Structure 1
Amino acid sequence: MKRFLRILVLALTLGPALALAGEPVNINTADAAALEQLKGIGPAKAKAIVDYRKQHGPFASPADLAKVPGIGEKTVAQLGSQITVGARNAAK
């Protein structure tokens, strides 16, 4: 029983991180809550991404995320394969 509980706690703890690691977040469609799940993206940056997208339209590539005020190329590089802009990025 103790082993089962340990496995359950581990699964609940790592589950969201593992799910996120397997599926990139589409920065053109994700809401602020989904963007906040990305490492290095808190509430303020998530809101900035959504606001930028509303004003300027969809991102053409993940690198365009660096155009958002408060997000630099270093953050974009750290996000790496965790983000996508949709089907066009899937082949890359």
Structure 2
Amino acid sequence: MASDLSPEYLKVKLDINKAPWYELMLLPKLGEAKAKAIVAYREEYGGFKTMDELSNVKGIGSSIIEAIKDYIKIGTGTADGK
């Protein structure tokens, strides 16, 4: 049931350091596997500091970063407070 979000439906950007995988998977070009990979990466490395750091996640390349950049933000810390 995953469907791409469009800008008019997403009024608040998702914090890539806090959003759960099931919210991330709704972003354009992301599915469950890539969303879970983003969460696993941030749990292992303590979160993202830049948008470009997303390219370190397996399966996430420049075309995906370009597709999701308008829907996400880089907040401080992670969902578990680190």
Structures share fold, TM-score greater than 0.5: yes
The alignment of Structure 1 onto Structure 2 pairs a total of residues equal to 71
- Aligned equivalents of 1:67, 1:46: Cα separation in 2: 13
Higher relative contact order (CA 8 A, sep 6+): 2
- Aligned equivalents of 2:55, 2:75: Cα separation in 1: 17
Larger proportion of helix:
1
Q: TM-score, normalised by structure 2?
A: 0.77
Aligned mate of 2:29, from 40, 57, 60: 40
The runs of at least 4 aligned residues of structure 1 exceeding 4 Å deviation read none
Letter in 2 for 1:41: L
**Can you list the C-alpha shifts for 1:31-65, whole angstroms capped at 9, x where unaligned?**
01110110111000011001111111110012211
Which residue number in structure 1 is paired with residue 68 of structure 2?
79
Structure index of larger Rg: 1
Unaligned runs of 5+ in 2: 77-82
